[in-house]
Chains A and B, each alone.
Chain A
Amino acid sequence: MSRVAALWVPLFPLAARLRSEPELAGAAVAVCEGNGPAARVVAASRPARKAGVRPGTSLAQARAVLPELIARGRDPAGEASAREALLEVAGGLSPVVEDAGEGLALADVEGMGALFPGPDGEDRLGHAAIRAAEGLGLPVRVGIAGNRLAATLAARRPASPTVVPPGGEREFLAPLPLAELEPAPELAATLERWGLATLGDLASLPPGEVRRRLGPEGEAAWRAARGEDPRPLVPHRPPPVLVEGMELEWPLASLEPLLLVLEELLERLAGRLLARGAACAALEAELTLEPEGHDRRELRLPAPTTEVPALLGLLRLELEGRPPAAPVAAVRCLARPDSPRRAQLTLFGAPELSPAALAAVLARAAALLGPDRVGSPRPADRHLPGAVETVPFEPPPPPRSRPEPRAGRGLLAVRALRPPVPLEAILEEPGPGGTGTPVLRSLRSPPGAALHVQGLVRVAAGPWRCEEGWWSEAPVERDYWDVELSDGRIYRVFRDGRDGSWWADGVYD
């Protein structure tokens, strides 16, 4: 026997708005559709409803009833993300989830007895769903029944969660008014003429007569009233990226308020990622500009993370580097989920770093320095000395046993100078019997150079020729020397073969 859980968010446009602006909770708020005199209230908070503001009334009427009413327009971006968040809560209950419309998600919860055992298992399941939805900022009502219709109607009861016992759908539906089925107007009029008021009245009619007089549509309503709903759930495929968005009441021209909005969105994203057991592998921010245009920023993350301060730091770095060209009217943040890194403890080998802590540290370092200045160094695939590139830091797992430290091999390290320091060289051209190579006599850097180099050449070894990219527009043709000056410092210097200029690109240190 199938079991379906329905998760329903009452007054969904209002709930989505309150999720974006939690500070409005408890105030008299109305969400409106349309502009100017045509603006109509779509949903109103409890204080507003108590004062008499009803859905369908015009905003002017509502304000006449309640002058302190806070009116907000509908927020398509916020509603879309609230809808996705609701589906994620349902996805936490079951792999088969249907997006059944605005503010309604259905989940197939058959066989959940293993996780929620006992006679009150489904009740606890419902409470778990309510808690999970609250964690994502959604007030949800849960109904659990044998089919989608009964579950949906159960979710609309004030008591939440409402669990309809297996086989009890007909009894549960019997006292409900016919309007709950939302029949077509003609059918509704006919049933009303017949004097039928509840679903139980409709269910008690003989089936042959219903089919003959009301046709297939009437028969479907009759079956629904008897608690029969054979429609299976249409599985919802979770989107590959998580989106959180917000339309701003007025365009933001400066960065700080925009970052506050982004922090809010990132916190919601992080909550949804954690609910999925995932982390953010890549982040995108889409800014809708006023009066027109879009600005899209993509962030490369060194490791999947859910650390909001780190993600916000990266966004801040990106936006401070290239501020938006115009005021921002709407914001969307897209996060590509990925599984967070896992670690395996070893008994005898070196302890592995905690992947979550490492990911957080990498993200924070990238936020501080910029993503291109954080990583693991690799020699670039070039002949040029000192050429380096960075790759993401993903240390291999430690060996199973801890090797003994090796004795020192002795080494000669080069301190690369980036960019190279220009030099003035005094050379002695070889005589007629010489080897054909000029002899270096002294080197000095020009005034104002980044590094002060000056001295007579004590020893010079070289040259070593380095040529690369002769086919490209920026070919490299250099002769390298190792040079010890009279102050004892040893430099790696080169002469540029194209213009004969001298440079130091490293210090032996």
Chain B
Amino acid sequence: MEVSEHPVPASRPLPAPVVAHPSARRPGRRVEVPEELRGRVFRAAELLREARRREPEPPLPTGVEALDGLLGGGLPRGAVVELSGSRSSGRLATLISALAVVTGMGEPAGLVDLGDHLDPRPAEAAGVDLARLLWLRPRRLAEALECAELLLGAGLPLVALDLGLPPLRGRVGPGAWMRLARAVREHGNALLVGSPHPVTGHAARAVLRLGGGRGLWSGRREGVPLLEGLPLEATVLRRRGEAPGERRVRELAVAERPLPSPAGTPAAPGAAPGRRRVAGGGRP
């Protein structure tokens, strides 16, 4: 049914006439809503549009609580956020976490993967609904930006753009990032860029540098070490609306969902796969 009698305050200006039934869309069959019902009958699309106008969409959580705190609740809609970090900084993990949150809410998301780095099994273990994830594998940086713009245009709520490991393949001018920022603002979705070093310049609303310390291992004393997680640490390099040079450093929650063992059967007696599956609890 497209007609709803959902009560809407009469003070809001209404588009009229309102079509009452899909069949009425045929030319010559348009049904005018009677005068006395105008103001009370709406098309579903109008109700939706109005509801979204009244309540702007909340920021998209990244799934990393401390990072959400730094960003003011999550990834802002209509803006670019850049995370830069080198190997083992937790950059990909944060991207995967944000994708897991969005796909977990039943919404599709896009991952533009410049270095062809996605490993689907750990991503699935982290909660990403792979059926809702569109994965594009460009070869060059310019292609990656073009792909991101395409996905933003398709209306995906979150597009994650991972630029892989240095050196970046290809170059783009600073105008390319501004163009992406305009596309994000126009479509109201969120763009999360993961890069080995800051690249977006002034196009991003916030640029954070990720850098961890040492890996978190268990069982080292017993001689059977097991990788449990990576410590994440974020530094705000730049955020629009704040004085330049202002920095905030925050220790983030530990990424610590243990992976399924890469192979399955341990070859050495000391490394039992069961130990790798230690249940991931909160680490203080």
Q: A residues engaging B (CB < 8 A)?
A: 345, 347, 349-351, 353-354, 357-358, 361-362, 364-365, 368-369, 373-379, 383, 385-386, 388, 390, 393-396, 398-399, 402-418, 435-437, 451, 458-466, 478-480, 482, 484, 488-490, 492, 506-509
Pair B150/A365 contact, Cβ less than 8 Å: yes
Pair B105/A405 contact, Cβ less than 8 Å: yes
Q: Which residues of B contact A379 (CB under 8 A)?
A: 120-121, 124
The answer to whether A466 and B88 touch (CB under 8 A), given A386-B119, A411-B93, is no
Pair A484/B214 contact, Cβ less than 8 Å: yes
Instruction: Give the nearest-CB partner of A390 in chain B.
Output: B135
Contact of B122 with A by CB under 8 A:
yes
Pair A409/B257 contact, Cβ less than 8 Å: yes
Pair A409/B136 contact, Cβ less than 8 Å: no
Instruction: Give the nearest-CB partner of B111 in chain A.
Output: A377
New A-B pairs, 16, CB < 8 Å, besides A411-B97, A464-B271 = A345-B48, A354-B155, A369-B139, A377-B118, A378-B130, A388-B119, A408-B64, A408-B253, A411-B256, A411-B257, A412-B122, A412-B227, A459-B215, A461-B226, A464-B261, A482-B227
Q: Which residues of A contact B91 (CB under 8 A)?
A: 509
Nearest CB of A to B145, in Å: 11
Partner of A398, one of B106, B119, B139, B269: B106
Partner of A490, one of B150, B230, B273: B230
Instruction: Give the nearest-CB partner of B214 in chain A.
Output: A488
Pair B266/A463 contact, Cβ less than 8 Å: yes
The answer to whether A410 and B153 touch (CB under 8 A), given A369-B138, A461-B217, is no
The answer to whether A358 and B154 touch (CB under 8 A), given A411-B125, A412-B257, is yes
Q: List 15 A-B contacts (CB under 8 A).
A: A347-B48, A357-B153, A357-B155, A365-B150, A373-B138, A378-B120, A379-B121, A388-B120, A408-B62, A413-B119, A415-B87, A459-B215, A459-B217, A466-B262, A507-B165
The answer to whether A464 and B63 touch (CB under 8 A), given A361-B153, A378-B130, A385-B121, is no
Nearest CB of B to A13, in Å: 37
Q: Which residues of B contact A394 (CB under 8 A)?
A: 131
Nearest CB of B to A491, in Å: 8
Pair B45/A345 contact, Cβ less than 8 Å: yes
Contact of B175 with A by CB under 8 A:
no
The answer to whether A509 and B100 touch (CB under 8 A), given A395-B108, A410-B229, A410-B255, is no
With an 8 Å Cβ cutoff, the count of chain B residues facing the other chain is 97
Pair A464/B87 contact, Cβ less than 8 Å: no
Q: How far is the CA of A375 from the CA of B86 in the complex (A)?
A: 27
Pair B104/A480 contact, Cβ less than 8 Å: no
Q: Which residues of B contact A403 (CB under 8 A)?
A: 104-106
Nearest CB of B to A463, in Å: 5
Nearest CB of A to B226, in Å: 6
Pair B62/A361 contact, Cβ less than 8 Å: no
Partner of B147, one of A357, A369, A385, A411: A369
Instruction: Give the nearest-CB partner of B58 in chain A.
Output: A405
Instruction: Give the nearest-CB partner of B135 in chain A.
Output: A377
Instruction: Give the nearest-CB partner of A374 in chain B.
Output: B136
Q: Which residues of B contact A374 (CB under 8 A)?
A: 134-137
Pair B151/A361 contact, Cβ less than 8 Å: yes
Pair A509/B262 contact, Cβ less than 8 Å: no
Pair B280/A409 contact, Cβ less than 8 Å: yes
The answer to whether A489 and B92 touch (CB under 8 A), given A368-B146, A466-B263, A466-B264, is no
Nearest CB of B to A438, in Å: 10
Q: Which residues of A contact B96 (CB under 8 A)?
A: 411, 413
Q: How far is the CA of A405 from the CA of B107 in the complex (A)?
A: 11
Q: How far is the CA of A375 from the CA of B110 in the complex (A)?
A: 10
Contact of B258 with A by CB under 8 A:
yes
Partner of B119, one of A364, A385, A402, A466: A385
